[in-house]
A and B are shown apart, each in its own frame.
Chain A
C-alpha cells in the first residue's frame, strides 16, 4: 500500500492532479500508438506514380559546373549545364545529318579562297531576362562581336574576367586564325581568317562557341559586376537559369520566347549526383528522368529494366597505347608493329569496357567521313609479332615501362586493368612490362618530361572534324602544346594534314586523310585500342532526347509522353 501511495505521488507530480483523466488518456495514447505506427509503416506503401509529377524533367548530372559559360572550360559537366540549355551558337552540328546546320546564323557564305566567312544573322531572337537584367533589344551582330572578341582579343575589357583562359579556343589557335571580325550591319558579320582553315566551321559549331549578350555585359560593366556574366548567365537558348545550389541542384525555366519554339516542359532540373550508382538508383525510382554517364558495369542492369532506355552512340574518342617514339627500342617502327600484332584488342574491349566500346583500327572512329576502311588492321598474331621482333633484333624481348592513369576517363574506364591485360599479352612475346602509375594531376605533369617508354591514354574530339584527331595528337606543333604524347614529329605527315585543311570541300580533303591514316598505320606511333561508346540512360516516357557524339546534352526538344492524360485520370 505504501508503494501504491508512492505511485500516486509520482503521478500527481507528473500530471499535477487530474488523476483519472490522465489514466484514460494514457490508455488512449497507447492504443493510438500502435495503430499509428502500423499505419506509418504500411500506409506509405508504394511511392507516388511518377506520371503524376509536375510536367518537368530531372537530369541526374555528375557534378557541379565550374561556371555557366562554356567558353571558359572544356569540362563536360559545365558544357552540359550551359552550352545547349542557356546559349546558342552561330551554327550547330546536326549528328543525324552529319553536317553543319544554321542556328543563330541563318545562312553563310565562304569566299573562294576560304579565308572570309560571311554570316547572315537571325532576326527577332530575344535574350533572356532575369532579376537584374531586361533586354531592350534583340540579338544582333554586336553580340557576336562581343562574344568572339572577348575570347580572341587580350585587350578586350571582358577578356580577363573569370580568369582569361579559353582552353578550347586556345587549343585550336583561334586567336591566330581569326584576323578580324567585321560588322557589316546589325544582321551581317564577316570573319576574316589569316589563312585557310577547313575546320573553322566545325569549331564554330563546337559546344564552346556560345554567344553572350553585349547589352548585359555593358550593364554589368557599368555596375562593376563583370564576373556576374558567367555566373548569372544571359543567353538566347531554350532555358533560362533560375537558381543554382552548389552540390545540390540547378533549376531552369523554359524560355517562352525561344526563337526555335519554346520547350515543351515546364521546368528542367539538374540534380547533382556525383555517384554513378546513386544516379542509376534515382533513375530506377523515378527521381531522375535522364542520367549522365552510366558506368560500363551498370549497362546490364539498365538493359534489364523495362522502364529505362539506353541510348548508345559511338563516341568521337579513342583510347590508345602510345610509344615514346624517340626512345630505344620504340624508335624502330618494326618493334611498334610487332607489339601491335601482340595485343588482343578484343580481349581488352570485353574485359575492360564490358563490350561498351568498338575495337579501334584507326584513331578515327569509323563514323567519321574521313575514315579509311581500306587499311589492313593489325590482327592478333603472336607468331607474326615474334617474327617482327626478331627482325628488329629483339628476339629475346626486352623490358619496358607502361604508364597508366588510375582514373576513369570516357575513352578508358579502367586504364590500370587495361595495362595489366597488356602486360600479360606482351609477356607471350617475351616483353616484360612494368606498370607505372601516379595520381591524375601528377601523371599529366610528369608526361611533359617524356620519361616513359609507353603509355595508355586517349583522346576525345571536340568536334566532328578529322583534323581534331590528327593535329593535336601527331603534329610537330603539338609537341610543344603537349598533345603529342608519342613524341613523334614527321614532316611528311604534317605536310599531309596541312594540305587537307586548305580545302573547305570535304570531298577534296578525304584523300589527304586517307594518306595520313595510311602513314600512321605503317609507322604505328600508337596502337589505337578502342572507341568507347557514349551512353545515356533515360526513362522510357521521355522523348526528344538525342545523344550527341561530341558531348553536350540538349533538352530543347525533350518532353514527357502522355503524362497529362494520366494525371487527369483516376489515379
Chain B
C-alpha cells in the first residue's frame, strides 16, 4: 500500500515536471520577449527588466531558467496580465470559485440523476424503460454543450422568459465577494433582500448547471448501468436471489455497493471533459469564471494568462486523479496488485 502511494507520488511529480517543461518550451517558442512572456510585464523599464532576469535567472542555463520558472509558479507568482497588468494569481483566485461552484453543482446533478437512472435501466434490462433511458442518454451524450446552451437560452430565456440567461446574480444585489461561491457569499453578506437574492442566484444557476450536467449525467448513467448489469449477473446475486431475499434488498444491499466503485473512478477520468465543457458553458452564459477569462485571454493572445491557465487546469486534473486513485486503492484492496502507476 505505502509502496503504491510512493510510486503514485513519484509519477505525480514527474508528470507535473513534464507539464511545466512543456509550458516553459511553449513560452520560449511564442513570439515576443521571453522576459515579457514569463512575467507579463510589457515594455519593462531597465530596472524592471533586470529584476525579471534575476527572478527567472534568464542569464543562466536553460535548466536554471526552467527550475526558477517552476519555483516562481509554485510560489504563486504567475506574473501579470498583458491587458491590465494585474497579478494573474489574484485574478485566478477570484475567478476559480465561480467555475468550481458550477462544476460542483453540475456534478451533483449528474450523480443525483445518473446513478438512480442507471440502476433503473439495469433492473429493467432490455425492457422499454431501459431502451428509453439508453436512447435519451445517447442523445444527451452526443449533444455538443454549446448547442445545448444556445437552445436553452433561446427557449427558456428568450421565448418563455423564465430564466435569466447571463451572469451569476442580478447586479442590483450588492453581494460582497468573500468566498466566490455565490450562495455562500449571499449567506455571509448583510444585504436587505437576502431571500430574493437567493432566488435570483438560483434562477441564474439553473440553465448553466443543467447544460453542464447533461454530458456527465449521461456518462454516469451509462457506466452505472453497465457495472450494475455485470453485478446483477454475478453468481453471488443469483445466490442472494435464490435465498429469497427481497429484490430491492438484493439491488441496494448487494449489487449497488460493488457497482458504484467503477463509476466513481470513471468520474475522475471525466474531469478534464467537465472542465472543458465548463469553459464553453461559461462563455455561453457569460458566467464570470476562469473559463471565460481564459478564452478571452486566448483572443487577446495574453500569453501569461494562457500559460497560467494550462498549468492550473492540467495541474488540477492531475492532482485530483492522483488523489482519487490513492483513495480508491486505499479502500479497494483487490485493485492494489493490478494498478501500478498508470495515469
Contacts and interface: CB of A to CB of B under 8 A. Distances in A.
14 contacts: A4-B239, A7-B257, A23-B252, A26-B252, A30-B115, A37-B112, A46-B163, A48-B199, A53-B170, A53-B193, A284-B157, A285-B158, A285-B165, A287-B170
B163 A48 contact: no
B203 A14 contact: no
Contact of A278 (B116, B166, B261, B332): B166
Interface string B165-200: 111001111100000000000000000110010011
B136 interface: no
B158 A281 contact: yes
A569 interface: no
B84 A13 contact: no
B297 to A, nearest CB: 12
B289 to A, nearest CB: 12
B165 A58 contact: no
Nearest to A50: B170
A287 B333 contact: no
Interface string A507-532: 00000000000000000000000000
Nearest to B84: A246
Contacts of A287: 164-167, 170-171
Contact of A34 (B112, B261, B286): B112
A33 interface: yes
A251 B153 contact: no
Contact of B331 (A14, A45, A284, A285): A14
Given A10-B257, A40-B109, 18 more contacts: A4-B236, A7-B254, A10-B332, A26-B252, A26-B253, A26-B257, A30-B256, A37-B112, A41-B210, A44-B206, A46-B162, A47-B164, A53-B193, A269-B171, A281-B153, A284-B157, A284-B158, A287-B166
A94 interface: no
Contacts of A249: 171
A27 interface: yes
A69 interface: no
B109 A37 contact: yes
A53 B115 contact: no
B45 interface: no
Given A44-B206, A48-B200, A54 B173 contact: yes
Nearest to B94: A245
B163 A285 contact: yes
Contacts of B84: 246
B202 interface: yes
Contacts, number: 138
Interface of B: 84, 109, 111-113, 115-116, 119, 153, 157-158, 161-167, 170-174, 192-193, 196, 199-200, 202-203, 205-206, 210, 234-236, 239-240, 248, 252-254, 256-258, 261, 286, 288, 331-334
Main secondary structure of the interface of A (DSSP, over half): helix
A522 to B, nearest CB: 49
Nearest to B217: A37
B172 A56 contact: yes
B129 to A, nearest CB: 14
Contacts of B334: 6, 10
A410 interface: no
A10 B258 contact: yes
Given A56-B172, A271-B171, A27 B252 contact: yes
B174 A281 contact: no
B261 to A, nearest CB: 8
A350 interface: no
Interface in A362-405: none
B212 to A, nearest CB: 13
Contacts of A47: 161-164, 199-200, 203
A56 B199 CA distance: 18
Contact of B286 (A41, A273, A286): A273
B61 to A, nearest CB: 39
A282 B164 contact: yes
B172 A267 contact: yes
A30 B165 contact: no
Contacts of B174: 251, 267
Interface string A273-306: 1000010011011110000000000000000000
Nearest to A59: B171
Given A44-B203, A46-B162, A58-B170, A13 B116 contact: no
A505 interface: no
Contact of A13 (B153, B170, B333): B333
B74 to A, nearest CB: 28
Contacts of A286: 161, 164, 170
Interface in A4-34: 4, 6-7, 9-11, 13-14, 23, 26-27, 30, 33-34
B7 to A, nearest CB: 21
Contacts of B170: 53, 58, 286-287
Contacts of A267: 172, 174
Contacts of B171: 58, 249, 251, 269, 271, 287
Interface in A301-332: 307
A6 B335 CA distance: 13
